[in-house]
């Protein structure tokens, strides 16, 4: 999709706690031009040892760590967190494997401007306690034949915001949680997160009555 002449780039801030494979998919998409009208202005992690920070720095992207552990109270952390994020002046916040509860004030300020990737087809295997390998362990235990990933806007609930994109992935005989997690990443997460960002950056996603509408 070609960029419109003179169109202002959408500034995104990416939050991540671990290795940053979804972050890498976003960086690759921006650099390859499959994510258009988009600039990554900052990467924030709650883990100073997160490899995601190194991925960002390697590509010349501002990266920093801010952790609740470094503050006397959660209220102080929440205030500082919001101030640090606002300093980037992002148009969109992307949660790419971020394991810190988002402050209510941030959710309110970035209503329908904050998205998350979850490794299941919501509403299956989502909500409190379902993250990382736990999602895939639960899916295999239940014996489902299809899993997948979901990109959704963030609201005050856990994985309850308006759904933007979903992609299904088949479960195969002999799958372990680790194998299934890798397949879901490769076949779903790394595809629909960049696609969702591109759609939003080009003004093609709106929210009406708690549901998203995607324009062609």
Q: Mean pLDDT over residues 95-108, rounded?
A: 95
In a domain, 125, yes or no: yes
* Average pLDDT of the residues of the chain: 95
For this structure, is 136 an active site residue?
Answer: no
Same domain, 127 and 159: yes
In a domain, 28, yes or no: yes
Closest C-alpha among 117, 114, 118, 94 to residue 105: 114
CB atoms within 10 A of CB 194: 22
pLDDT over 90 percentage in the chain: 95
Same domain, 82 and 147: no
Q: Among 65, 92, 110, give the residue marking a domain's end.
A: 110
Residue 19's domain comprises 9-110
Name the burial class of residue 94, with classes exposed (0-12), middle (13-18) and buried (19+) by CB atoms within 10 angstroms of its CB.
buried
Q: What are residue 164's phi and psi, to 5 degrees?
A: -100, -55
C-beta of residue 167 within 8 angstroms of C-beta of residue 187: yes
Same domain, 122 and 207: yes
Q: Mean pLDDT over residues 129-145, rounded?
A: 96
Which residues have CB under 8 Å from 70's CB, separation 6+? 77
Which CATH number covers residue 70? 3.40.50.170
Same domain, 26 and 88: yes
DSSP lists the bridge partners of residue 116 as 95, 152
Number of structural domains found in the chain: 2
Query: What local confidence, expressed as pLDDT, does residue 8 receive?
Result: 86
Same domain, 46 and 104: yes
Same domain, 82 and 157: no
In a domain, 150, yes or no: yes
Whether pLDDT at 138 is above 80: yes
In a domain, 3, yes or no: no
Same domain, 143 and 159: yes
Query: What local confidence, expressed as pLDDT, does residue 216 receive?
Result: 80
pLDDT digits (tens, 9 = 90+) for 148-184: 999 999 999 999 999 999 999 999 999 999 999 999 9
pTM confidence score: 0.94
Same domain, 181 and 152: yes
Which residues have CB under 8 Å from 34's CB, separation 6+? 194, 198
Give the active site residue among 59, 118, 136, 152: 118
In a domain, 4, yes or no: no
């Amino acid at each position: 999709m070609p960029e419109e002449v003179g169109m202002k780039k959408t500034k995104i801030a990416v939050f991540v706690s671990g290795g940053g494979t979804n972050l890498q998919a976003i960086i690759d998409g921006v650099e390859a031009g499959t994510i258009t009208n988009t600039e990554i202005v900052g990467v924030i992690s709650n883990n100073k040892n997160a490899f995601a920070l190194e991925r960002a720095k390697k590509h010349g992207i501002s990266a920093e760590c801010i952790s609740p552990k470094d503050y006397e109270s959660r209220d102080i952390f929440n205030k500082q967190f919001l101030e640090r994020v606002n300093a980037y002046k992002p148009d969109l916040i992307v949660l790419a494997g971020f394991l810190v509860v988002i402050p209510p004030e941030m959710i309110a300020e970035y209503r329908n401007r904050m998205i998350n990737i979850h490794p299941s087809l919501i509403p299956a295997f989502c909500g409190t306690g379902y993250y990382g390998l736990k999602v895939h362990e639960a899916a295999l235990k239940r014996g489902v034949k299809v899993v997948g990933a979901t990109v959704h806007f963030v609201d005050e609930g856990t994985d309850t915001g308006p759904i933007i994109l979903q992609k299904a992935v088949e479960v195969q005989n002999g799958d372990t949680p680790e194998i299934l997690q890798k397949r879901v990443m490769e076949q779903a997460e790394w595809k629909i997160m960049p696609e969702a960002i591109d759609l939003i950056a080009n003004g093609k996603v709106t929210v009406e009555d708690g549901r998203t509408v995607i324009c062609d």
